[in-house]
Amino acid sequence: MQIYLQRIFIAFLSIFIIACGFQLRGSIDANFKSISINGGSEGLSKHLKKRFKQSGIEINYENPEKIVEIIADTLNKRILSLSGSGSVQEYELDYEVKYRFKSPTTEWSQQISIRLSRDFTYDDDDRVAKELEEKNLINGMRDEIVRSMVSQIMISN
């Protein structure tokens, strides 16, 4: 009886996923096969290179079909609120990337700016967990920026 219910549940779940239009994210077709990435922090450029490689694009600095220049890659942290005793209760993370790109035969694109902000609470009694939360927020923001950059670069002519 239990196996019968499991099969019904799996069939129902499969039908539900198909009916809602769920589709795995595929790779974006690019109009180039190699790219050069210049500038930016080590973390950002590493994520960017990884994302292009996953899309089947070679990282090539000698004769690339597309060149990306990261003009600015800044992460700022500022205090949002303090407690009555003067200790920090909330921080804001602000991550901004400015970049441009071109093909060897074309002019540079307009400078593109992507900016993300995230707020998070802070507690001195839980420093290790809050530092880990901050690190995870920064990595998530970096991933979101890289996804936006790759999409913009790949769909451009």
Query: What are the pLDDT digits (tens) for 23-42?
Result: 655 555 677 889 999 998 99
Distance CA 106, CA 93 (A): 36
Contact 120, 130 (CB under 8 A): yes
According to CATH, what is the number of the domain 2-155? 3.30.160.150
Where do the structural domains in the chain lie, given as residue ranges?
2-155
Lowest mean pLDDT among 24-38, 47-61, 92-106, 117-131: 24-38
This prediction has a pTM of 0.76
Max intra-chain CA distance, the chain: 68
